[in-house]
Structure 1
Amino acid sequence: MGNYRVLMKMIFLVVFVGWLLVWTLLPTENYKNKWSPKLKSKLNSTYFREQGTNLVLFSFPIMFIAALSCVYLHIQIKKSSKSSKSKSSNVITSGLASWRRPVFVKAPLGIVSAVELCFVVMFVVLLIWSLANYLYVSFGHLHMHGKSVKIWQTKFRSVALRLGYIGNTCWAFLFFPVTRGSSILPLVGLTSESSIKYHIWLGHLSMILFVAHTVGFIIYWAMTDQMAEMLEWSSTYVSNVAGEIAIVIAIVMWVTSIRRVRKKMFELFFYTHYLYTVYILFYVLHVGVAYFCMILPGIFLFLVDRFLRFLQSRHHARLLSARLLPCGAFELNFSKSHGLQYNPTSIMFINVPIISKLQWHPFTVTSNCNSEPHKLSVVIKSVGSWSQKLYKQLSSSSLDHLEVSVEGPYGPSSFSFLRHEALIMVGGGSGVTPFISIIREILFQSTKPNIHIPRITLICAFKNSSDLSMLDLLLPISGANSDRISQIQLQIEAYVTQENEQPKSEAHKPLQTIWFKPSPLDKPISATLGPNNWLWLGAIIASSFVLFLLVLGLVTRYYIYPYDQKDGQFYHYSYRVLWDLFLVCSCICLVSSVAFVLCKRSNAMEDKQIQNVEMSKPTTSPAARSYVAAENKELESLPNQSLIEAIKVHFGARPDLKKILFDSKASDVGVLVCGPRKMRHEVAKICASGLADNLHFESISFNW
């Protein structure tokens, strides 16, 4: 099995490097004058016309990697489920660990590791190389667009045009980070939420290039008295009007996605970002089918993922219960199928139609799929308007059922935190929720023989003492593996920053648990494509792409090509683009729907088996109320007692993160942080300082 995995990794590497090499050679003079004519004569047949070369060189390699990687991930999951995770099997070399450390921590890029910095530099070099070669080739073969146009004006137009080409290169990578169920990101240890910053970087860079491209052409048309070109929608070449519509939409999306605007007016950002569908339409109408095939893989894989998410969200999830905390946070407990597997720090997107039919919000999954096979939990802190409305709905005494739709969960393909000798987890406020899932996973792993369990230190900072109730959620409502908490080395340092003394215990409101009535229309949360999700996804990617090529070839050969052969007639340039978009969407919808229906049958059988399974109500009260004044209360259970003993509360103080991290004596310390931006950057700077070689920063948040 190991040999197959090594072979597949080598195939991925060779194909990907070959794909990047094509992008590197594309702007060169040799490619334009020597290789391109030969490739067009062989690949641009009557079945694909001008799309043939780009489909083979730019689309096929990535689609091949995406489909084959699904098989690789399926094998990896099956192997990891059979083998235990020991310390020796998860050791990484010190050289690789040093490359993952933060080397740059500053706005607007945020926390950047050495690996990320290298790839950023290489990508920028690729763009500079491409622009320089494009201009070198174009300046050597200038095409004068008008008798009165001067040479310097033609060069100015050439620069503006080539800036658009470079922006198109950014677009080739733009959609990979936002494909939540991507089979490519896990190959390099990424998830969609951890790589969303790459989408933002690429978005900003592409917008700068496209705005410069647009402004450059407007200036050129003004200088040469060709402003009428702005209103041209050519039937034989690119549409200027389509490009102008696309850039206006893009600017609206760009402005509302700026961090300051997004933070203050999230709903404005959220709704305007739905304009991406219209943006893609007019963008592709502007660039044409040949350039569309260059950026097709990212868009194709994103559309596959988006349609599968749409199919999953059509069913309402079965909500079993909710735990309301005094601090305004609450835990939602859903029923899930046994075959749904996920790793700690996974997230799930939730939609509550009674609050908003369009808004979807991501939340951390805190339950453990191994110890809680039929339950999935998420924790939500009511800090925004959406979450506050949901908290009020749950607090209503008349509420006995709530319709909720979900997408996911999405998360890392493996759990690697056990490789460290010690773990220091730093969280602020609701930032402690990802660590709940990690601690529950470690509790489960501690039940296995010969497993290395790291020492755990949880540093959490809260504004008020009521926020300490977040620590109640460390113990699952089902009580699974709670008795193991005394057998792991767990230390919790809780800091209450805005209160100087311990409040009276009676000032705390009791935790409230709400149980919902089941509805026959609600379904347990399950993988969209069943237990063999990756294999089905690979089949969908391969089948839909092959079907697209087949139908595109037939349409081109027997409909478009005969039309072009008629005297004096040309098939409309924009209509070819519409055909491509229509066929892409149709093939994805058809193949994905068939696969979803087939998988739904197997999921329905499991749904019937767990439909009557009810979660037993807790018989003990939570622990958080006890550790504030533990000496005045009788400890109710061994798990609660062990948790109380592990917690130390500091009032009116902030954690001295530098002292805590530097005082850690373990040889290999994994440092995880989730919380306010200032806290994340502070921890990252400490780890990047190089003053302690044993600190290994682990990024788990899509906020940077």
Structure 2
Amino acid sequence: MDENSVQEPFLLTEISVKKTSLFVSSVKWILEILMWAIFVAWIGVIFLFPTQFGNGLLEKYIHATTGNPCGITGSLFLVLSGPVLVIAFLSIFHLIISGDEEFQQKKSLKHPGVRLWTFPFLVDGPFGVVSAAEFIGILLFVVYVIWALYAYIIQSLNRISGEDLTLMEERILFLKTMGGHLGSMGLYCMAFLFLPVARGSVLLRFINIPFEHATRYHVWLGHLTMVLFTLHGLLYIVGWAMEGNLLHKLLSWKDIGVAILPGVISLFAGLLMWVTSLPPVRKWNFELFFYTHQLYVVFVLGLALHVGDFIFSMAAGGIFLFMLDRFLRLCQSRRTVDIISAKSLPCGTVELVLSKPGNLRYNALSFVFLQIRELSWLQWHPFSVSSSPLDGKYHLSILIKVLGEWTARLRGSIMNISEAEQPASPSQPRPKITASVEGPYGHEVPYHLMYENLILVAGGIGISPFLAILSDILHRVNEGRPCLPRNILIVWAVKRSNELPLLSTMDLESICPYFYDKLNLEISIYVTRESDPPLEEGDIHNVTVSSVCPMSKGCGMSVLVGTGDSMWSGLYVISSTVGFVISLGILYVFYINPRSISTWWYKGLLFFGCMLASVVIFGGLVVGLWHLWEKKLSAMEECEENRLKPGMVQHNEDVANLFQKNHTSITTIQYGSRPGFKEIFGSISEHWGYADVGVIICGPPTLESSVAREIRSRNLKRESHHPVFHFHSHTFDL
């Protein structure tokens, strides 16, 4: 390998990068500053509310804004839900003007350093591996809870001291007052709860946190929210029991004030979701968790009926963004997608090649949700994409490890189809698997292309996204596209040697001839449960595969995905939000105010219905136009190019020959041992020197923790000539 090819970044030596104009850079900088200012102000308002000073400011603000058509509801919506919607709007503009230049502007830093998002601060604990930036967020919520509890306790005690009550009455009043305050704290947490689970959210795209990583924030917030709401309900229950009217209160449904029965129903639905989402229950019965989690509709609607419109508006912003994403997913998932190829490997892994339109955008670290209608109409399962977007314009591949009942049934269906006899007549259709797809979702920016040095650590089927990464890099190197990686180490731990053929699903030489002259690639494989090769060394990969190739001219995936076209997805969010504000104003001006409607639960129902109608009507109009536009573009592309030919997808190939041809010279296999990350990272530190090293992990939690612990230790004790390791996790449990 020539010296220049390893030491000089490919992006800087062979590619002239188009510079971003000063105007565009200035606009992006202004938008970022403005978004941070709005976010900090929003957090400041939430922190001030528990104090007497904050209550005074709130009263003055409501008094000053009572002239708006929606009254107190409009005032609270503007100050507590408005900021997140404004930030979403600004994120849309930022994404649109950024276009595809975000990656092109990223260059290798001359002075590597530790970054908050990639430094594993906590490794062992209830939160898993937590970066320094995530720890700051957790700390912020902890400080808020402690601060709010202290402030509310002081307020409650002051209120009791001003009343002439008996000791029993004082205790009951304290319980009720603190119960109300805990409910308010739960509402503030709900303002954030639904933001991480909006899969195509413009907010997640802007901060470049993919949905599969953000779900852990939803889990953390879900635990905190349910603790607060549960304590909120328990304090009231104890207080009513002490008064002796518990059953009467639980069944009450007042018109003026809080309707208690809807709140009980909402809390019960929330408790069911909470209990079934705990790790032991999910591991025991995932379907139970999945189905009970659909009760979020009852949870949110019950909350709106419970507290009415003006209190519900405090958390409506995040819920509205989630509704937008959910409706777009519903529109996308209605389409059935052709399975171009289905292949069953003997190691218990299935490879599916799915049809997609040429203009569907994704990157090598994306994932999709897959539904197989022959198996279940309700279950959707996430899988990492194992192909690069440069592998083919009209197809996308995923690898599925058989681990549960659903995946076992999928493999059985493929085996049955492959063993079936040919149709008796040409008119008789060949059996197919009916699939629907949501996504692809993933990082807005392909961060794996921004490090000159990469370490990819995989456990078992965790090799799947790394096949896509390797293919993406090889394609870019071969075609002269922007790409920094030059040194790549793949560390792969598997239980049995029969999993090794997964590496042979990609032909390195065909992607980039003589890649070893342009890329320093090493693959270290550890077979943990076999002390020796089961057969002779040259024959261990000599396996066969069974496959089925439906190959029909059906439709590809829908392009209606939030992470796709920034212009259309932005127009969808903006039109729906503006439509919601207008329809809410019309509702108050022409119905609620003229008729003097004061029933809290009814106004809460109207508010929720207005949100839903705005998404369906205003958002649905944009989705329809988006679909027609993309259909027109796809038709134009099909006129210029032929669809994917059967010969482009390999079937029943000789895995042994392919493995020997492409991987033997760069691969080392160790039996009966696990990766020693102390030795691996120590060797890397000496050979790669002072540089940024991206470390991406996809595997079980124990593997992730081991790597994160070693990275933290290396970065804290590093010498001046050693590299800085940056931790990235691609492990997710949805």
Flag whether TM exceeds 0.5 (same fold): yes
1:682 and 2:706 aligned: yes
Aligned equivalents of 1:406, 1:218: Cα separation in 2: 45
The residue that corresponds to 1:406 in the other structure is 437
What amino acid is the match of 2:710? I
Shift of 1:615: 2.7
Identify if the C-alpha distance between structure 1 residues 275 and 532 changes in structure 2 by more than 3 Å, giving closer, same or farther: closer
The residue that corresponds to 1:219 in the other structure is 238
**Deviation readout 1:525-552 (Å, 9 max, x if unpaired):** 2421699722222222222122212221
Shift of 1:352: 0.5
Any gaps of 5 or more consecutive residues in structure 1?
565-569, 631-640
- Which stretch shifts more, 492-501 or 190-199? 492-501
Shift of 1:184: 0.6
The 3-state SS of whatever aligns with 2:55 is: helix
The residue that corresponds to 2:89 in the other structure is 67
Identify if the C-alpha distance between structure 1 residues 226 and 90 changes in structure 2 by more than 3 Å, giving closer, same or farther: farther
Aligned equivalents of 2:206, 2:655: Cα separation in 1: 40
Aligned equivalents of 2:658, 2:200: Cα separation in 1: 41
Aligned equivalents of 1:53, 1:469: Cα separation in 2: 61
The residue that corresponds to 2:592 in the other structure is 560
The residue that corresponds to 1:600 in the other structure is 627
- Which stretch shifts more, 139-148 or 271-280? 139-148
1:512-523 aligned at under 5 Å gives the runs 512-519=546-553, 522-523=554-555
**Deviation readout 1:45-65 (Å, 9 max, x if unpaired):** 362022021121112221111
What amino acid is the match of 2:529? Q
- 514, 521, 534: which one aligns with 1:503: 534
The 8 Å contact of residues 370 and 382 in structure 2, kept in 1 or not, is answered as yes
The residue that corresponds to 2:501 in the other structure is 469
The residue that corresponds to 1:699 in the other structure is 729
- Which stretch shifts more, 368-377 or 9-18? 368-377
Aligned equivalents of 2:369, 2:311: Cα separation in 1: 33
What amino acid is the match of 2:731? S
What amino acid is the match of 1:309? R
The residue that corresponds to 2:67 in the other structure is 45
Identify if the C-alpha distance between structure 1 residues 515 and 215 changes in structure 2 by more than 3 Å, giving closer, same or farther: same
Aligned equivalents of 1:145, 1:446: Cα separation in 2: 80
The 3-state SS of whatever aligns with 1:125 is: helix
Shift of 1:486: 5.9
Identify if the C-alpha distance between structure 1 residues 98 and 48 changes in structure 2 by more than 3 Å, giving closer, same or farther: closer
The 3-state SS of whatever aligns with 2:608 is: helix
Aligned equivalents of 1:661, 1:553: Cα separation in 2: 60
Identify if the C-alpha distance between structure 1 residues 21 and 672 changes in structure 2 by more than 3 Å, giving closer, same or farther: same
Aligned equivalents of 1:619, 1:188: Cα separation in 2: 38
What amino acid is the match of 2:615? I
1:102 and 2:136 aligned: no
RMSD over aligned CA atoms reads 2.6
The 8 Å contact of residues 491 and 523 in structure 2, kept in 1 or not, is answered as yes
The 8 Å contact of residues 527 and 671 in structure 2, kept in 1 or not, is answered as yes
Aligned equivalents of 1:359, 1:268: Cα separation in 2: 11
Aligned equivalents of 2:349, 2:533: Cα separation in 1: 21
- Which stretch shifts more, 170-179 or 369-378? 369-378
Aligned equivalents of 1:194, 1:449: Cα separation in 2: 28
1:305-384 aligned at under 5 Å gives the runs 305-384=325-404
Any gaps of 5 or more consecutive residues in structure 2?
1-23, 421-429
The 8 Å contact of residues 361 and 564 in structure 2, kept in 1 or not, is answered as no
The residue that corresponds to 2:285 in the other structure is 265
**Deviation readout 1:298-322 (Å, 9 max, x if unpaired):** 1000000000000001111122112
Identify if the C-alpha distance between structure 1 residues 95 and 135 changes in structure 2 by more than 3 Å, giving closer, same or farther: farther
**Deviation readout 1:469-517 (Å, 9 max, x if unpaired):** 11122338x9544664663211111122222222333884313342113
The residue that corresponds to 1:586 in the other structure is 613
The residue that corresponds to 1:613 in the other structure is 643
- 167, 173, 182: which one aligns with 1:163: 182
The residue that corresponds to 1:654 in the other structure is 674
- 46, 50, 58: which one aligns with 1:27: 50
**Deviation readout 1:347-375 (Å, 9 max, x if unpaired):** 10000000000000000012111342222
The residue that corresponds to 1:201 in the other structure is 220
The 3-state SS of whatever aligns with 2:663 is: helix
The 3-state SS of whatever aligns with 2:488 is: strand
The 3-state SS of whatever aligns with 2:454 is: strand
What amino acid is the match of 1:102? P
- Which stretch shifts more, 692-701 or 574-583? 692-701
Aligned equivalents of 2:315, 2:334: Cα separation in 1: 30
Identity of paired residues, percent? 31
1:79 and 2:101 aligned: yes
Identify if the C-alpha distance between structure 1 residues 450 and 79 changes in structure 2 by more than 3 Å, giving closer, same or farther: closer
The 8 Å contact of residues 704 and 729 in structure 2, kept in 1 or not, is answered as no
Aligned equivalents of 1:267, 1:299: Cα separation in 2: 24
Query: Normalising by structure 1, what TM-score?
Result: 0.91
Shift of 1:198: 0.8
Identify if the C-alpha distance between structure 1 residues 70 and 573 changes in structure 2 by more than 3 Å, giving closer, same or farther: same
Identify if the C-alpha distance between structure 1 residues 74 and 92 changes in structure 2 by more than 3 Å, giving closer, same or farther: farther
Shift of 1:621: 6.9
What amino acid is the match of 1:422? N
The 8 Å contact of residues 195 and 318 in structure 2, kept in 1 or not, is answered as yes
- Which stretch shifts more, 174-183 or 71-80? 71-80
The residue that corresponds to 1:635 in the other structure is none
The 8 Å contact of residues 394 and 644 in structure 2, kept in 1 or not, is answered as no
The 8 Å contact of residues 318 and 334 in structure 1, kept in 2 or not, is answered as yes
1:221-240 aligned at under 5 Å gives the runs 221-227=240-246, 228-240=248-260
Shift of 1:703: 4.6
The residue that corresponds to 1:456 in the other structure is 488
The residue that corresponds to 1:182 in the other structure is 201
- 446, 456, 459: which one aligns with 1:425: 456
The 8 Å contact of residues 367 and 383 in structure 2, kept in 1 or not, is answered as yes
The 8 Å contact of residues 62 and 297 in structure 1, kept in 2 or not, is answered as yes
The 3-state SS of whatever aligns with 2:314 is: helix
- 545, 548, 554: which one aligns with 2:577: 545
The residue that corresponds to 2:9 in the other structure is none
What amino acid is the match of 1:4? V
The 3-state SS of whatever aligns with 1:206 is: helix
**Deviation readout 1:387-443 (Å, 9 max, x if unpaired):** 111111111223642211000000001012233332111111111112111111211
**Deviation readout 1:12-36 (Å, 9 max, x if unpaired):** 1111111112112222212323x22
The residue that corresponds to 1:439 in the other structure is 470
1:57 and 2:79 aligned: yes
The 3-state SS of whatever aligns with 2:182 is: helix
The 8 Å contact of residues 441 and 563 in structure 2, kept in 1 or not, is answered as no
The 8 Å contact of residues 486 and 642 in structure 1, kept in 2 or not, is answered as no
What amino acid is the match of 2:556? P
**Deviation readout 1:231-251 (Å, 9 max, x if unpaired):** 211100111111111111111
Shift of 1:624: 4.4
- Which stretch shifts more, 619-628 or 506-515? 619-628
What amino acid is the match of 1:555? L
1:119 and 2:143 aligned: no
